[in-house]
Amino acid sequence: MQIYLPIAELSVNIFLLLGMGGAVGFLSGMFGVGGGFLMTPLLIFTGIAPAVAVATGANQIVASSVSGAMAQWQRKCVDFKMGSILLAGGALGSFVGVIISRILIARGQVDLFISLFYVIFLGIVGALMFAESIRTIRRAHSKNPPLRRKPKHHNWVHGLPLRVRFPRSRLYISCIPPIVLGFLIGILAAIMGVGGGFILLPAMIYLLRMPAAIAVGTSLFQIIFVAAITTVLQAATNHTVDFVLAFILLLGGVVGAQFGARAGRRLKSEELRALLALLVLAVCLRLGVDLVSTPLDLYSLDAVIGK
Amino acid sequence: MTQRAFFKPLISCAAILTAMWFSAHRVAADSLVADLSENIVAITSNFTGKNLVLFGAIDRNTALSTNRLDEQASRDVIVIISGPNNQTPITVRHKERVGGVWVNTKSVVFDGVPDYYFVAASRNFADIASSEVFRRNEIRPENLKMNPVDAELDEEALNAYRTAIIRNKKREQLFYEKQGGVEFLDDTLFRANVTIPANISVGIYSTKVFLISDGRIISVQSKSLDINKTGFERSIFEFAYDSPLFYGLLAVVFALIAGWAASLAFRQE
């Protein structure tokens, strides 16, 4: 059954869209990421213009991350204090990101930069996370007593001034790293049209040393706001949010996210991280291949911005 | 819907009857009559593109008496539909390999590129008229007057861009070129199937029908075709463009409610 999308201005099979929303929602609920890094490429693949895909993806992420964050909140896995500090940086970052993105669009380099950013960040994050989770799984399976991380083991992050207590995360660290992290995520979110969970989550676990479960919930909480800001900005400036498309995607997405969150509970944290790492690496590889393989046509047509 | 279904054959019949009336009365000024099966295409939620039929009749006798052509003279019809009328310039970007990665290195802004262009002819274009005739009347995509807004390239480079525009548009199913796409049902009546793709932009399109005899255009008829969204699709589209900020906020509020509702529905006891 085909449905016509009024803003994207084309018709797509409704069940395909529902399935895509459900699948991405499932992963989103399971791993605590918004799923934008999967949804945006999928939408573009079905023939929807990248600008519409990015903006509408953000709208759908709002719904799936609310659904996911509520589930995490009920399990008391959201650190609101940490989330708010990340958000403060994020709001500033998305403002800077919008300016950068406008320059890139005008020069026709936005697709290239999005792909490059994805490949670099997904590659680094995926590889680090995969290596770490495999090490943990191996250790758990071996008969040797696990090498527990010493509670006093601190990295450079913990030596910074302006320390704040985060009771939920059981942390007492400087508030500078979360603000800077939020700022960088905000920039990326505005350019790439994603919540930034796939970068934020590992950074929270490995850099800030937050407990993994709390990091998932807090990341989802933060993504709600970043995606909401992106949606409003995109709708107001570029008219690229397709409400009909977003509605179908979120129908699938919210349901998928709930099943994903349940499935996630059955898996061990390190197994979850290994799976997410593999997924991230797969997307990275796909985009990397696209960057270097000869395009279908060396010329492309683009609407003139500002008309 | 029922109203439209009722009127469609009625309008068709009326147009054909008009065409016959003209041919019977040998009106010298009108040697060609043509119309589309529908002059308004409504884009609804189940719109997947549309096939229209353009039909018409030529008046052989008129052509004979006014132009003194013999019975064996060739008569050809070329149909063009293009638009929408409120055309905006487009940017054409050219990719080159930079350090192994494909990068948009050059770009040219072009004016006069229709979003949609359909041309069909009753025979091979080359057999109908000279390329000069086609060029003057913007018949066939390569004769469209697509010009750079600020030209700094030589003609050869510009032509590479122009052929790229046509190639891309054909791939996106927005440009059509159909030799033999106009078929004669008898000596005077002809028809052409027009493809309106699902990804067409809304707006007013213009239809032109050329009657060509022995390489000369002897009659042209113009009509307009209105392609528009209706109902819910139209409301959304207008809302998104008329009050974008409110639209964005509403989209977010809706997403928040949907997410919240889902988490309530799936809440574990």
Which of A151, A152, A177, A149 has its CA nearest to residue A163? A177
The token pair at A117 is 């950013």
Domain spanning B2-229 has what CATH number? 2.60.40.1930
Strand ranges, E, within chain B = 32-36, 40-43, 50-58, 75-83, 90-98, 101-111, 116-121, 147-148, 175-179, 182-184, 189-196, 203-213, 216-229
Which backbone phi and psi does B67 adopt, to 5 degrees? -110, 0
Pairing of strands B50-58, B189-196: antiparallel
Are the Cβ atoms of A299 and B236 closer than 8 angstroms?
Answer: no
User: Is residue A179 situated within a structural domain?
Assistant: yes
Are the Cβ atoms of A66 and B91 closer than 8 angstroms?
Answer: no
Structural contact between residues A57 and A193, judged by C-beta atoms closer than 8 angstroms? yes
Chain A residues in contact with B48 by the CB 8 A cut-off are: 2, 4, 11
Tens-place pLDDT, residues A253-296? 878 877 887 888 888 878 888 888 898 898 889 888 888 888 88
Structural contact between residues A228 and A62, judged by C-beta atoms closer than 8 angstroms? yes
Q: What is the DSSP letter of B70?
A: -
According to DSSP H, which parts of A75-207 are helical?
80-106, 110-141, 176-192, 197-202
Pairing of strands B175-179, B116-121: parallel
* Number of helices followed by number of strands (H, E) in chain A: 10, 5
Task: Give CA–CA dist B59/B77, Å, rounded.
Answer: 12
Residue in A61, A251, A298 to test binding to B, most B beta-carbons within 10 Å: A298
Nearest Cα of chain A lies from the Cα of B255 at a distance, in angstroms, of: 4
Chain A residues in contact with B161 by the CB 8 A cut-off are: 299
Structural contact between residues A53 and A12, judged by C-beta atoms closer than 8 angstroms? no
Residue in A16, A66, A291 to test binding to B, most B beta-carbons within 10 Å: A66
Are the Cβ atoms of B104 and A255 closer than 8 angstroms?
Answer: no
User: Is residue A146 situated within a structural domain?
Assistant: no
Residue B4 in this model has a pLDDT that exceeds 80:
no
Residue B94 in this model has a pLDDT that exceeds 70:
yes
Residue B30 in this model has a pLDDT that exceeds 60:
no
Residue B70 in this model has a pLDDT that exceeds 60:
no
Nearest Cα of chain B lies from the Cα of A120 at a distance, in angstroms, of: 14
Q: How far apart are the first and last CA of chain B?
A: 49
Q: How many distinct structural domains can be found in chain A?
A: 1
Tens-place pLDDT, residues A120-132? 888 888 898 899 8
Of B91, B101, B200, the CB nearest to A304: B91
Q: Left if phi > 0, otherwise alpha if psi is -120 to 50, otherwise beta: which for B134? A: alpha
Structural contact between residues B182 and B121, judged by C-beta atoms closer than 8 angstroms? yes
Asked casually if ipTM beats, i.e. exceeds, 0.90, the reply is no
User: Is residue A221 situated within a structural domain?
Assistant: yes
Provide the residue count of chain A.
Answer: 307
- Mean pLDDT is lowest, of A14-28, A136-150, B67-81, B131-145, for A136-150
Residue B208 in this model has a pLDDT that exceeds 90:
yes
CA count, 13 A, side-chain hemisphere, A223:
38
Q: What residue ranges do the domains of chain B occupy?
A: 2-229, 230-269
Q: Does B40 touch chain A (CB under 8 A)?
A: no
User: Is residue A149 situated within a structural domain?
Assistant: no
Residue A43: CB partners within 8 Å, gap ≥ 6? Answer: A20, A52, A53, A56, A57, A245
Cβ-in-10-Å burial (0-12, 13-18, 19+) of A214 comes to buried
Q: Does B243 touch chain A (CB under 8 A)?
A: no
- Mean pLDDT is lowest, of A240-249, B148-157, B199-208, B249-258, for B148-157
Structural contact between residues A218 and A186, judged by C-beta atoms closer than 8 angstroms? no
Of A64, A247, A298, the CB nearest to B259: A64
Q: Does B47 touch chain A (CB under 8 A)?
A: yes
The token pair at B227 is 């392609």
Structural contact between residues A231 and B255, judged by C-beta atoms closer than 8 angstroms? yes
The token pair at B130 is 């000279």
Nearest Cα of chain B lies from the Cα of A73 at a distance, in angstroms, of: 11
Residue B211 in this model has a pLDDT that exceeds 80:
yes
Mean pLDDT confidence for A146-150:
49
Q: What is the DSSP letter of A71?
A: H
Are the Cβ atoms of A70 and B259 closer than 8 angstroms?
Answer: yes
Are the Cβ atoms of A231 and B247 closer than 8 angstroms?
Answer: no
Task: Give CA–CA dist B62/B32, Å, rounded.
Answer: 10
Q: Left if phi > 0, otherwise alpha if psi is -120 to 50, otherwise beta: which for B36? A: beta
Are the Cβ atoms of B255 and A250 closer than 8 angstroms?
Answer: yes
Task: Give CA–CA dist A160/A304, Å, rounded.
Answer: 47
With a CB-CB cutoff of 8 Å, which residues 122-181 of chain B face chain A?
160-161, 164-165, 167-169, 171
Are the Cβ atoms of A300 and B93 closer than 8 angstroms?
Answer: yes
Band the pLDDT of B25: cuts 50, 70, 90: very low
Residue in B46, B92, B104 to test binding to A, most A beta-carbons within 10 Å: B104
Are the Cβ atoms of A301 and B168 closer than 8 angstroms?
Answer: yes
Task: Give CA–CA dist A66/A231, Å, rounded.
Answer: 14
Parent domain of A17: 2-140+155-292
User: Is residue A62 situated within a structural domain?
Assistant: yes
Nearest CA in chain B to A255: B262
Band the pLDDT of B6: cuts 50, 70, 90: low
The token pair at B237 is 């589209």
User: Is residue A304 situated within a structural domain?
Assistant: no
| Residue carrying structure tokens 């040797």 | A144
Residue A188 in this model has a pLDDT that exceeds 50:
yes
Q: Does B93 touch chain A (CB under 8 A)?
A: yes
Nearest Cα of chain B lies from the Cα of A169 at a distance, in angstroms, of: 24
What residues does B252 pair with on adjacent strands? none
Are the Cβ atoms of A246 and B234 closer than 8 angstroms?
Answer: no
Cβ-in-10-Å burial (0-12, 13-18, 19+) of A91 comes to middle
Which of A258, A84, A262 has its CA nearest to residue A168? A84
pLDDT for position B72: 59
Nearest Cα of chain A lies from the Cα of B102 at a distance, in angstroms, of: 6
Q: Does B106 touch chain A (CB under 8 A)?
A: no
Whether the model pTM is above 0.80: no
User: Is residue A159 situated within a structural domain?
Assistant: yes
Chain B residues in contact with A11 by the CB 8 A cut-off are: 46-49, 198
Nearest Cα of chain A lies from the Cα of B209 at a distance, in angstroms, of: 28
